[in-house]
C-alpha cells in the first residue's frame, strides 16, 4: 500500500491546532504586586467554550495513529515479529523524547524548589508543562492493545468500533447519571464513578483508533466499488455524530466545552464523555469526506513540504510548545513591558495576534535548538530499540518497563510536574526506571534483525514513518 499523504496532513493539522489552541486560551495577568497569574479563559469568558469545538482535534491523532498502526503491525506480523518486539519498538520511540523532556523539566523544578520559588507558582508552571501528557499513557495503552484490536478487526470489521462505541456511550451516560445522584455522597461513591468513567479513556479514544484500522483496510475509504459505500458511512458519522452531540449538550446533561473547565459538574474530557464520543465521530466523518479535496491540494510540492516539516517535528512541538509561554512571561510580563488591556476585552483579543506570533517565533527557536538533541535521540533509539522477535524473559522486562512508564505519565498528566509545589519523587523515579528498563533490557540487535525492526514502522509505507521524516527529526506523536 502506497503512502497516504492525507494521513500525514491530518497529523500536521492536528498538532498545529493543539499548539495554537493551548496558546490561545493561555492568558497572563500581571498584578500590581508583580505576581503573574493565568486566569482560566474558558471559565472567565464562558462563550469561548464554543471555540473548543474547533480546537479539540485529538480524534484526528487517534484516527491517524490507528491507520498507521494497522499497516505497521500487519507488516511486522508477516515478517515473523512478536507482539512484545513490536510494542517495545513503538514504546521506545515515544518514550525516549518524553523522558528527556520530563527529565529537563523535573531538573528545573528541583532547582527552583531548592531556591525557594513560590510553591503556588511552581505548581502552576509544573501543571502547564504537563498539560498535554494525558494523551501519552492512553496512546501507549492502545498501542499495546493493537495486536488484539487488529485481530478483532480482521474478524468483525466495523462491528468492533460499533461495539466499543455502544460501551463508551453506556459508560458516559452512567457517569453522568452517577454524578448527578452522588452529589453530597461520600468519597467512596465518587471514587467508584471515577473508576467506571476511566474506562472511557480506552473506549472513546479506542473507537477512533479502531476506525483508523478500518480506514486503512478500505472499510471507510478507497477507490472503485467501495467508494460510494465508504462515503455513505462517512456521512452517517458526520451527521449522526453532530446530531448526537447537539442532543447530548442541548437537552442533555453535558457541557459544550471539549476541554476541562474548572467548576463544571461534568467534563467531556476527564473522562471522555458520550458527547466527546459523538463529536469524535462527527470529526472523523468530516475528515473522511474532505479527504479527496485535501489530497488534490497535497499534490503541490510546497504543501507537501510544509506538511512534512510539521510532521517530522511534531513530537518536539507537542512536548515543548508551552515553554515559549514561560519565556515570554519572563521577558514581557515580569518586566511589565507587555500591554495589559482588561482580560477578555476587545483590546485583549486584538493582542492575541501578536501573542501568537511571538510565541511562534520563540517556538521555532526552541525547536531549532533541540535539533542536536533529536539527532542524538535518533542514534540512541537505533541502539536500544528492541528486536522485532523478542520473547522470553526480555518480554517480561519490556512489559514491566512499559507499565511503570504509563503509571508515571498518568500521574504527571493528572497532577503536573510539581503538584502542591513539591518535587514528585516517586513518579520521577518511576519514569526513569520504566524507560531505562525498556532501553537496557534487550540484547544488542544483530545485523540480521535490522530488516524486521524496520518493519515496525520506520519505512515509508502506510504513513508509518519514512526516510524523509527521519531526516528532519523524531517520529511524530501518533505515528504508528
Q: What value does the mean pLDDT of the chain take?
A: 88
Mean pLDDT for the stretch of residues 171-187: 77
pLDDT, tens digit (0-9, with 9 covering 90-100), for 66-104? 999 999 999 999 999 999 999 999 999 999 999 999 999
C-alpha 212/C-alpha 67 separation (Å) is: 4
β-partners of residue 36 are: 30
C-alpha 343/C-alpha 41 separation (Å) is: 9
Question: How crowded is residue 22: how many other Cβ atoms within 10 Å of its Cβ?
Answer: 18
Mean pLDDT for the stretch of residues 111-138: 95
Give the H/E segment covering residue 38: none
C-alpha 34/C-alpha 285 separation (Å) is: 48
Q: Answer yes or no: is pLDDT of 221 > 90.
A: no
Selected residue with higher pLDDT from 335 and 205: 205
Specify the 3-state DSSP secondary structure of 29: strand
Which one-letter DSSP state was computed for residue 225?
A: T
Question: How crowded is residue 214: how many other Cβ atoms within 10 Å of its Cβ?
Answer: 22
Residue 184 has a pLDDT of: 57
Q: Do 92 and 140 touch, CB atoms closer than 8 A?
A: no
Which residue do the cell numbers 498518568 mark? 410
C-alpha 24/C-alpha 119 separation (Å) is: 26
pLDDT, tens digit (0-9, with 9 covering 90-100), for 277-306? 999 999 999 999 999 999 999 999 999 999
Q: Percentage of the chain with pLDDT > 90? A: 76
Q: Do 320 and 362 touch, CB atoms closer than 8 A?
A: no
C-alpha 277/C-alpha 61 separation (Å) is: 14
Residue 258 has a pLDDT of: 96
Q: Answer yes or no: is pLDDT of 478 > 70.
A: no
C-alpha 405/C-alpha 98 separation (Å) is: 10
C-alpha 171/C-alpha 135 separation (Å) is: 20
Prediction pTM value: 0.91
Query: What is the C-alpha R_g of the chain?
Result: 22
β-partners of residue 272 are: 269
pLDDT, tens digit (0-9, with 9 covering 90-100), for 421-433? 999 999 999 999 9
Dihedral sign of CA atoms 182, 184, 190, 194 in order: positive
Dihedral sign of CA atoms 67, 69, 72, 78 in order: negative
β-partners of residue 29 are: 37
Mean pLDDT for the stretch of residues 349-366: 97
Mean pLDDT is highest, among 185-189, 262-266, 409-413, 459-463, for: 409-413
Residue 191 has a pLDDT of: 80
Specify the 3-state DSSP secondary structure of 109: helix
pLDDT, tens digit (0-9, with 9 covering 90-100), for 229-242? 889 999 999 999 99
C-alpha 381/C-alpha 377 separation (Å) is: 6
Maximum distance among all alpha carbons in the chain? 69
Show the cell assigned to 342: 482588561
Show the cell assigned to 223: 477507490
Range with lowest mean pLDDT among 107-121, 359-373, 402-416, 439-453 = 439-453
Q: Answer yes or no: is pLDDT of 455 > 60.
A: no
C-alpha 199/C-alpha 206 separation (Å) is: 10
First and final CA of the chain: distance in angstroms? 15
| Cβ-Cβ contacts under 8 Å for 285 (sequence gap 6 or more) | 234, 235, 236, 237, 238, 239, 240, 241
C-alpha 65/C-alpha 210 separation (Å) is: 9
pLDDT band, residue 11 (cuts 50/70/90) = very high
Q: Do 206 and 166 touch, CB atoms closer than 8 A?
A: no
Amino acid at each position: 500500500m502506497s503512502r497516504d499523504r492525507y494521513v500525514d496532513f491530518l497529523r500536521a493539522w492536528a498538532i498545529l491546532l493543539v499548539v495554537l489552541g493551548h496558546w490561545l486560551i493561555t492568558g497572563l495577568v500581571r498584578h500590581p504586586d508583580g505576581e503573574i497569574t493565568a486566569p482560566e479563559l474558558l471559565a472567565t469568558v464562558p462563550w469561548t467554550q464554543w471555540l473548543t469545538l474547533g480546537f479539540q482535534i485529538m480524534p484526528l491523532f487517534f484516527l491517524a495513529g490507528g491507520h498507521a498502526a494497522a499497516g505497521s503491525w500487519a507488516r511486522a506480523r508477516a515478517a515473523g515479529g512478536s507482539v512484545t518486539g513490536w510494542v517495545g519498538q513503538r514504546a521506545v520511540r515515544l518514550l525516549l523524547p518524553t523522558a528527556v523532556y520530563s527529565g529537563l523539566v523535573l531538573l528545573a523544578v528541583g532547582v527552583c524548589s531548592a531556591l525557594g520559588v513560590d510553591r503556588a507558582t511552581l505548581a502552576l508552571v509544573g501543571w502547564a508543562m504537563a498539560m498535554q501528557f494525558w494523551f501519552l499513557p492512553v496512546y501507549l495503552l492502545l498501542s499495546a492493545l493493537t495486536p488484539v484490536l487488529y485481530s478483532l478487526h480482521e474478524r468483525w470489521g466495523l462491528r468492533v468500533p460499533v461495539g466499543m462505541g455502544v460501551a463508551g456511550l453506556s459508560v458516559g451516560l452512567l457517569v453522568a447519571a452517577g454524578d448527578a445522584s452522588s452529589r453530597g455522597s461520600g468519597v467512596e461513591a465518587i471514587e467508584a464513578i471515577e473508576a467506571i468513567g476511566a474506562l472511557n479513556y480506552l473506549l472513546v479514544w479506542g473507537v477512533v483508533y479502531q476506525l483508523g484500522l478500518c480506514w486503512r483496510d478500505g472499510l471507510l475509504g478507497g477507490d472503485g466499488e467501495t467508494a460510494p459505500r465508504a462515503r455513505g458511512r462517512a456521512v452517517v458519522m458526520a451527521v449522526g455524530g453532530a446530531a448526537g452531540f447537539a442532543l447530548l449538550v442541548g437537552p442533555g446533561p453535558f457541557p459544550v466545552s471539549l476541554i476541562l473547565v474548572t467548576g463544571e459538574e461534568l467534563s467531556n474530557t476527564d473522562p471522555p464523555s458520550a458527547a466527546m464520543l459523538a463529536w469524535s465521530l462527527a470529526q472523523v466523518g468530516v475528515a473522511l469526506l474532505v479527504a479527496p479535496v485535501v489530497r488534490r491540494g497535497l499534490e503541490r510540492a510546497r504543501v507537501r513540504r510544509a506538511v512534512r516539516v510539521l510532521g517530522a517535528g511534531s513530537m518536539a512541538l507537542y512536548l515543548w510548545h508551552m515553554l515559549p509561554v514561560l519565556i515570554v512571561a519572563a521577558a514581557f510580563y515580569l518586566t511589565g513591558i507587555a500591554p495589559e488591556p482588561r482580560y477578555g476585552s476587545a483590546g485583549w483579543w486584538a493582542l492575541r495576534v501578536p501573542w501568537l506570533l511571538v510565541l511562534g517565533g520563540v517556538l521555532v527557536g526552541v525547536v531549532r535548538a533541540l535539533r542536536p538533541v533529536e539527532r542524538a535521540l535518533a542514534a540512541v533509539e537505533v541502539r536500544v530499540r528492541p528486536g522485532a522477535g523478542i520473547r522470553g524473559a526480555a518480554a517480561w522486562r519490556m512489559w514491566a518497563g512499559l507499565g511503570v512508564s504509563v503509571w508515571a505519565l498518568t500521574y504527571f498528566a493528572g497532577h503536573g510536574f510539581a503538584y502542591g509545589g513539591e518535587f514528585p519523587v516517586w513518579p520521577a523515579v518511576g519514569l526513569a526506571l520504566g524507560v531505562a528498563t525498556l532501553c537496557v533490557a534487550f540484547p544488542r540487535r544483530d545485523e540480521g534483525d535490522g530488516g524486521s525492526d524496520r518493519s515496525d514502522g520506520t519505512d515509508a509505507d502506510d504513513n508509518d514513518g519514512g526516510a524523509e521524516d527521519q531526516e528532519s527529526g523524531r517520529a511524530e506523536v501518533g505515528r504508528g
